[in-house]
Amino acid sequence: DSGGQPHFITHDGKLADSRREPQSHYDSPTWKCAPIPADLQDRRVEITGPVDRKMVINGLNSGANVYMADFEDSTSPTWSNLTEGQRNLRDAVRGTITYTNPKTGKVYAPKQKTAVLFVRPRGWHLDESHVTVNGKVASGALFDFGLYFYHNVHNLIRNGTGPYFYIPKLEGYLEARLWNDVFIAAQQYLGVPQGTIRATVLLETITAAFEMEEVRCTYRACAVSPLMLARMPSTIAISQLAYRFSQALLVSFSFFLHHRFSTSSRTTRLVSTAVAGTIFSATLRSSRSTTIRLLPIDPSLP
């Protein structure tokens, strides 16, 4: 996404070793992720959509375990869409959200039992041009995250849930570390316990696939599920990588496709990473439409 050179390609076009840091937490055999909150024990069915008012209500009423309100791919980042979306989520958290169809007069409102709300902010690569900080354009990711967290964290806690996020478009563990620093600072600023924020990472880039264990370890205090594998963006990233570094990858490109970059091999590694982090709650699809299901961590669930 950023157009930067992958860490495993050196400046002279050769394949490099991993950039894992010496004496990192990942090298320890004892690290674990934080326990999963009670309302996230079962996430077998999730639905996503934009943040317009009617969609938020329908998503919460869908019968799915999780509704992910999406400020990224599902929402055109106009100022009105973003600000109205934040208002809609604030009203949803407060339980006051309603929508009346102007043509039919039908009134939409949340049911008594709704899906657990997740929010997906924009990635690090997108700006929010309507806001400046110290004369510089603000980060779209921080704008989406900050508004939602500031206006809703205390109400979410009172409701027995929490601020849950999907993190998109990471290209490596250093970007994950930046998000983790943001989480720590935000929780400290608003006086809520560390670990209140919980996050799921979308694995959408090839570079992140090489560092999924480091990403998992970075988020160990706030992670609530395995890294989610997004097949289509990863396939596109493979093509972009092959085009940009064709000389370096030409000889062994088939090896990379079938052994190191293939969806099936990354799915296997993804499952191994999830198990190592003691997290069990996702459905992953391989390139051959095979489904690998990780059962809920609560054995009482069917």
pLDDT per position as a tens digit, 222-231: 766 544 544 4
How confident is the model at residue 171, as a pLDDT?
Answer: 86
pLDDT of residue 208: 80
Q: Give the residue among 6, 19, 18 at the shortest CA–CA distance from 245.
A: 6
Give, to the nearest 10 degrees, the angle between helix 173-189 and helix 140-158: 50
Is there a contact between 220 and 271 (Cβ–Cβ < 8 Å)? no
* Backbone phi, psi, residue 34, to 5°: -65, 155
Q: How far is CA 138 from CA 141, 142, 237, in A?
A: 9, 8, 26
15's tokens: 């394949």
Which amino acid belongs to residue 100? T
Which residue type, as a one-letter code, is found at position 260?
A: R
Token pair in block for residue 67: 């509704």
Q: b/e map of 262-285 (b: 16 or more CB within 10 Å)?
A: bbebbbebbbebbebbebbbbebe
Q: How confident is the model at residue 265 (pLDDT cuts 50, 70, 90)?
A: low
In this prediction, residue 14 carries a pLDDT of: 53
Give the list of residues 6+ apart from residue 185 with CB closer than 8 angstroms, or none: none
**Lowest-pLDDT range of 130-139, 211-220, 236-245, 253-262:** 253-262
- pLDDT at position 13, please? 54
- pLDDT value for 225: 53
Average model confidence (pLDDT) for the chain?
Answer: 76
Higher pLDDT, residue 81 or 24: 81
List all residues 6 or more positions away from 231 whose beta carbon is below 8 Å from its beta carbon: 263, 285, 287
Convert the pLDDT of each residue in 186-232 to its tens digit.
999 999 999 999 998 888 887 787 787 788 778 777 766 544 544 44
Per-residue three-class SS string for 80-149: HHHHHHHHHHHHHHHCCCCEECCCCCCEECCCCCCCEEEEECCCCCCEEEEEEECCEEEEHHHHHHHHHH
pLDDT band at 267 (very low <50, low <70, confident <90, very high): low
Residues 16, 249: contact at Cβ < 8 Å? no
- pTM attached to this predicted model: 0.74
Across 55-59, 90-94, 158-162, 273-277, least confident range: 273-277
For β-strands 46-49 and 66-70, DSSP reports them as parallel
pLDDT tier, 161 (very low <50, low <70, confident <90, very high otherwise): very high
Judged on CB neighbours under 10 Å (0-12, 13-18, 19+), 215 is buried
d(CA 58, CA 132): 34
Q: What is the mean pLDDT of residues 20-42?
A: 71
Nearest of 217, 171, 201 to residue 21 by alpha carbon: 217
pLDDT of 133: 93
| Alpha-carbon gap, residue 138 to 127, rounded angstroms | 6
DSSP E strand boundaries for 162-260: 164-167, 198-203, 228-229
Q: What are phi and psi of 240, to 5 degrees?
A: -65, -40
Mean pLDDT of 58-63: 96
